[in-house]
Structure 1
Amino acid sequence: MKPLSVLFILLLLPSSLLLAENDDLDKVLEEATYIATKTKLNADYVPGTVTVISGEKLKSLGITNLAEQNAFDMIVGFDSSTLSLRGAGSIYGAEGNKIKWMINDKPISSEIWGIPKLGVGQIVFPIPTDAVDRIEIIRGPGSAIYGGNAIYGVVNIITKKETGSVFTTLSQMESNKFGKGVGAYGTFEKNDLEVTTIVSADKSDGWDLPITTQSPARDGNLPNASRNNLFMADISYKNFDFWTYRLEAKNDYTRLQWDPSNYLPQDNDEPVQSNTYTMVGVQGKYNVSNVVLTAKAGINQYTNRAEVVFKPSSVLGNNPNHLDGVRKIDYVESTKYVEGIVETTVGSNRLLGGVYAGFLSVDQDDVLQTWSGNNYNPGISTNLLTVNDPKRINRALYLQDEILLNDQSTLTLGTRYDTYSDGRNALSPRIAFVYMHDESNILKAQYSRAFRPPSFSEQYSPNNQVSTKTYESETADTVELSYIFKTKETSIKTTAFHSRTHNMITYHDFTYETINLESPTTVNGLELELSKNYETLNLGANMAFYKSHRGEVHLSRGGLVLNYDPSEFALSSKVMANVFATLNSDTYYPTTLWYHYTGSKNRVNNAMLDANGNIVTIYTTNGSTPAQDYLNITQKINGISKGVDLEFGVKNVFGKTLKTLYFPLNPPNTSDVPYMGQTFWVNLLYKF
């Protein structure tokens, strides 16, 4: 029986078998979330579609670190392998840069995420789930209060603030490869001083992931070793909060990195590239009568450094010294920002307003890429971005009014206006209505607009044929309707939405240069979350169904008419689903099973035409990637000794080699790139 058939059979069982949410997640859902409105509200009562998942739940599903390749798969409509939400963020060239990412309410981003060439840029958060309190997710636009990049979603990772724990994780992959990690977190309090720290380090040899490609890459294993380091410190003293974070993710150049048109990197277990995020800042909060004033200032820096050797030298043609191909990257960017927020309540109106100013600059972007023929230029670096002196000042003003119409209804009105020093501006309105018929039935409706200016890597991509072209910011208008039914044991959440994007920023499927699509693109979707809890058994599922429509593409280069008709988005799955169950949930030894399914994804399936309108046959239909699925099983034993919990399990029980389609989309480079295999793991957590 096909996996998707099994899924639908599970969904057709009686209501007593509807969803699995454990007690930890139930408690989180009853807690307040700030992500939807920046004010304190229950997650089920906020405007729009918000999901909250605890770190304990993620760990019970087999996710021990957010740097893992499938770390966010459990989120409704999230495809970790393309870092997308709602079937739209995975549009080619947009790996994660159309989502607003935050850590403890502090934004984190990079101008080179999603760049199409030279393998720079990725999103990896090396945070152990042992140290994660919860993850809050807005599915859909969030620009009205969060600004640019919040076009298809907002993800906020919130870490723990507890007395203290030490944890370690050991794992074994296929082919006798291993992983190990260790970490600790704790909180010190004295009088008005509170200090919370998190430290961790881990290393993984990865898996043997064989790949068969077309020339020139040849066949071999795609290296995927990783090594991560984390330091986070939050200090609170009276009215002030200080933070200093350093997240370093090292890898072997495969996750959204490797370009299949190049040779394979050397197969080894030592990471050759690092992505480092450094975040420091201060915040002050004051209560003046009925007004809360918050002032915030911070500096974020992102660096990408790599030295990758491509093999083998024997196939590098006329390379005079028979050297392997080499790619070296030294990239640095920084963002300096200040923000002020005012909150107050006047009658039935809860008002929030804010001002924001940020300065973004690329400080260094040296790239050395050399191999045979004309590309053999040892020691000569190029500056992809700084030659254009990319700098951007962003100023914004936002205002929001949550109006309590009566005991059952709330209306939220909000808007944000952003300006950029390079001549762009954006208005992001929002109107949302929440109606609570009774304690069990909630209706929601929302219209919102989001925007995203072109990143520097898109504006100044080396593939762009017209270097002086200015790209328009993309805007997305989204309408969504939601219904929630919940009792103490049962929960059913349904959301239907329609999103229309204008001036979509993407990459041409043949030339890989940045383009604005001339006609609108759309995504229609239906999302379901279901849960049912028994005394010793919790069952659950979530599903997402998407139908996308990409606008027309018109481009002429080198005597060829490179036009494409409207089609579905490449890389975007129509169906994604999770089914999970926790057995013995109220005992000291719960067992959790998690089945994940991602449907097939289209490659480019339109013909390319020459100047006479004839089909260039090599670029006709390109097929699709197959559906992917896996099963994880996790066993937990609480209190094996005083303060010690043991957790162990198998990820990808049936040992499938999971694959997805990365750049590029067209022949002759149509390889389905492997990204994950089977893993056995064990974790010990000691609380003191």
Structure 2
Amino acid sequence: MTTNPVCLSVLALCLLSPFQVALVYANPQSDDAATDADQAPLQDLLSLLEQETELATRSGMNADYVPGMATILSGEDLLVRGVRNVGEALTLVPGISDGMEMSGERQILSRGVGFGYASGNIKILLDGVSMNSTLYATANPVLNIPIEQVERIEVIRGPGASVHGEYAFAGVVDVITRKSQRKLHVQAMEGSGDRGGGGQWYWHDRERDLSVSFNVLGLDGDAGVDVAEDALYGIDRPELSNAPGTSNESHRYRGLFADVTWGDVFAAVKILDDDYGDAFGINHFLPPEGDRLSSRQGYESLQLGGNLQLGERLRTQLRLEALRHNRDRNELYVAPAGYLLENQPVYMSQDYRETRYLAAADLHWQPHPRHELFVGLEARHVQVDEATWDWPEAFAIDVPWLDEDLSRRVLSVVVQDQIRIGERLNLTAALRFDEYSDVGMHLSPRLAAVWPINDEHILKLQYARAFRPPTFYELTYPGEGTDEVRAGEIATYEFGYILKKPRWEGRLILFQSDLSDSIVFGYDEEGYINSADVRLRGIEVEYTQRLLPALKLDANLSYVESVDLGLDQQPLPGGTDLLGNLALLWQPIHAWTAALQLRYVGERARRPSDTRSPVDAYTLADLTLSYATSDRGLFAHIGVKNLTDADVRFPEQPSGLGGVDLVYRKDYPRPGRRWWLSIGYAF
């Protein structure tokens, strides 16, 4: 593998001391600017102290002191860096990269795990509500939420099942939406055709302790990238192809979030509608030109709850949730005329709907200031309401679809004990028990220690196990010779170290993860199977420094060795071993901020049976200029995505039809340089 010069630059900048940087950079300051600059380190410190999260333990703790490593991404900071949606924001987290499925759905890959393991390995929450569907375990609409609707994103890397249960396999993400703002905004992007707008509004009555908020946004686009050849060229049938042409990446997003809080009682409504085109085609046949919205995913959820103080040291939270998920496909392009049917192309349609109900109770008891016990009880029921699959009358296909009577009931108990020994050593022990009506019982333990040696040094150790139950789709399509698809499991060992200085901060984490019975699609078996064991070993480094009063650096670098123990120590296909991020944020005067965001993604391995060379590494550069005077008034962000017009390609994913291996020989190209603008007014 070749070393990218940008990656070397990341390492070099991380090693520069403030004195060395000052020698090569001078920035005269006005008196006002100097005053602001003198406060910059203090502001950085205060922002770090405010990074409290409940994601890791369900008890509010500073992110530095939770078990494992937590990352908190601020919505305002993400806008300043030019990030446009949640999926893109997650790539700023060490060890996380993105990809896409051939029909346009986003994928989030964690710690070297590739596309074969991508579905359902990260639990995705929206304001604390689980959004992973039981059909595929994904939550694509949440990844497409624009940053204009996001207050912050909390991420914990590694297993989180001891607290969050299913799908918290390789990490947990909670997207917190904006609730306490009054704003109107519009946005647009060149090339992709993105255009839309929305706003946030809230009202608060102090006397009644009543708050109401609304957060709404709509976005449309007719995106597409040029495609020279599709899979038909590889099987010598170019006369049937729509290539050269443009991928169908048209999309339409609608999001509405409403929240009401009255004293200790709360209610929340979430409506997400995410429509998109068929991209590169489910069989790697480029769809015809047009802006058809062939796939739709929608969520409607209602959450009701209350917080009760039962005593000086005892409190509880009760929650009821109802969620309906739709995943429909309308005239999805399958094959061109002449391939399956002589005189007409083949399209298919699918309709799927599931309803989920949840009742939960959390109990927090603090018998001693240094001791807190958490007990959580959950009961969940999932029911498939509709599952249909329609094909043309002229095309007879005998492929079963889901049983409309499918259902799943889950009973869960969580017990977590946190205790501080002495003045500094904090121990956390947790155990979660889940009983499924269809896939058996599972235990998810965690044992962690956090030792703040002093105000500058923090050490962390953690052992955690998690499970990943098979989805409804995986249970319906077991591979040939597979009696049943079992739950996958992961065991992770982590060592973390945090070093905090007045002007800079460093974080280091070493980890090893052992995966067993991972659920993957076996192409030789033509269905889902439990794969051989996998071992992941890696290191993640984060570094933040105030280089100059007006200049801040933020960088991270991650390396992982992924080994499939059943394939002669081969790396996992689709994943990469090396990822890096580097951001420079310059604020010469109070109202203006310029940001340069660099991202390096290393080579990505292919399947062992694929003799092509690995997918090339790439470096993305985004440049953004932001203006905001205060919490009220005009604000604007203008930027350039992929400033250097780099050739970015996601690995093509295996596809086949009728026993024929169908590939995009040049993978999935991604958009080049394009301008974007987001402008609004805060009241």
Q: Is 2:412 the partner of 1:396?
A: yes
SS in 1 for 2:77: helix
Q: Which amino acid aligns with 2:419?
A: I
Tell me how far 1:587 sits from its aligned partner. Answer: 2.3
Match of 1:521 in 2: 534
Partner Cα separation in structure 2 for residue 456 and residue 21 of structure 1: 51
Tell me how far 1:342 sits from its aligned partner. Answer: 0.3
What TM-score, normalized to structure 1? Answer: 0.87
> Paired residue for 2:479, among 464, 468, 473?
464
Q: Which amino acid aligns with 1:360?
A: V
Tell me how far 1:427 sits from its aligned partner. Answer: 0.8
Partner Cα separation in structure 1 for residue 359 and residue 267 of structure 2: 14
Encode CA deviations 1:651-686: one digit per residue, 9 max, x unaligned.
111223421114207955254112333320111121
Encode CA deviations 1:403-448: one digit per residue, 9 max, x unaligned.
0112211011111111111241111111110111111110000011
Paired residues of 2:297 and 2:326 also in contact (CA < 8 A): yes
Q: Which amino acid aligns with 2:168?
A: A
Partner Cα separation in structure 2 for residue 626 and residue 665 of structure 1: 21
Partner Cα separation in structure 1 for residue 156 and residue 588 of structure 2: 28
Partner Cα separation in structure 2 for residue 627 and residue 674 of structure 1: 13
Name the CA shift for 1:152/1:211 in 2 (closer, same or farther; >3 Å).
farther
Match of 2:353 in 1: 332
Partner Cα separation in structure 2 for residue 428 and residue 685 of structure 1: 46
Q: Is 2:149 the partner of 1:131?
A: yes
Paired residues of 2:402 and 2:473 also in contact (CA < 8 A): yes
Name the CA shift for 1:333/1:622 in 2 (closer, same or farther; >3 Å).
farther
Q: Is 2:490 the partner of 1:500?
A: no
Partner Cα separation in structure 1 for residue 127 and residue 579 of structure 2: 28
Match of 1:240 in 2: 265
Q: Which moved more, 1:451-460 or 1:501-510?
A: 501-510
Partner Cα separation in structure 1 for residue 440 and residue 380 of structure 2: 14
Tell me how far 1:56 sits from its aligned partner. Answer: 1.0
Q: Is 2:204 the partner of 1:161?
A: no
Name the CA shift for 1:275/1:650 in 2 (closer, same or farther; >3 Å).
same
Partner Cα separation in structure 1 for residue 572 and residue 346 of structure 2: 34
Partner Cα separation in structure 2 for residue 438 and residue 641 of structure 1: 36
Name the CA shift for 1:571/1:15 in 2 (closer, same or farther; >3 Å).
farther
> Paired residue for 1:425, among 420, 441, 448?
441
Match of 1:178 in 2: 193
Q: Which amino acid aligns with 2:521?
A: Y
Partner Cα separation in structure 1 for residue 453 and residue 419 of structure 2: 17
Q: Is 2:652 the partner of 1:674?
A: no
Which ranges of structure 1 fall in alignment gaps of 5 or more residues?
116-120, 553-563, 606-618
Partner Cα separation in structure 2 for residue 274 and residue 638 of structure 1: 36
Match of 2:599 in 1: 596
Paired residues of 1:447 and 1:477 also in contact (CA < 8 A): yes
Partner Cα separation in structure 2 for residue 522 and residue 406 of structure 1: 36
Partner Cα separation in structure 2 for residue 46 and residue 431 of structure 1: 12
Q: Percent identity?
A: 23
Match of 1:661 in 2: 651
Q: Is 2:646 the partner of 1:646?
A: no
What TM-score, normalized to structure 2? Answer: 0.88
Paired residues of 2:626 and 2:636 also in contact (CA < 8 A): yes
Tell me how far 1:381 sits from its aligned partner. Answer: 9.4
Name the CA shift for 1:585/1:211 in 2 (closer, same or farther; >3 Å).
farther
> Paired residue for 2:395, among 353, 370, 376?
376
Match of 1:551 in 2: 565
> Paired residue for 2:302, among 265, 276, 280?
280
Tell me how far 1:581 sits from its aligned partner. Answer: 0.3
Match of 1:609 in 2: none
Partner Cα separation in structure 2 for residue 677 and residue 114 of structure 1: 31
Paired residues of 2:650 and 2:669 also in contact (CA < 8 A): yes
Tell me how far 1:25 sits from its aligned partner. Answer: 9.6
SS in 1 for 2:492: strand
Q: Which amino acid aligns with 1:686?
A: Y
**Structure-to-structure mapping, 1:444-463, within 5 angstroms:** 444-461=460-477
Name the CA shift for 1:453/1:9 in 2 (closer, same or farther; >3 Å).
same
Partner Cα separation in structure 2 for residue 22 and residue 172 of structure 1: 38
Name the CA shift for 1:419/1:585 in 2 (closer, same or farther; >3 Å).
farther
Partner Cα separation in structure 1 for residue 563 and residue 537 of structure 2: 9
Paired residues of 1:604 and 1:622 also in contact (CA < 8 A): no
Paired residues of 1:86 and 1:546 also in contact (CA < 8 A): no
Which ranges of structure 2 fall in alignment gaps of 5 or more residues?
22-39, 101-106
Q: Which amino acid aligns with 1:495?
A: I
Name the CA shift for 1:99/1:27 in 2 (closer, same or farther; >3 Å).
same
Match of 2:37 in 1: none
Aligned-pair Cα RMSD in Å? 2.7
Partner Cα separation in structure 1 for residue 580 and residue 305 of structure 2: 40
Tell me how far 1:464 sits from its aligned partner. Answer: 3.1
Partner Cα separation in structure 2 for residue 504 and residue 339 of structure 1: 29
Tell me how far 1:4 sits from its aligned partner. Answer: 2.9
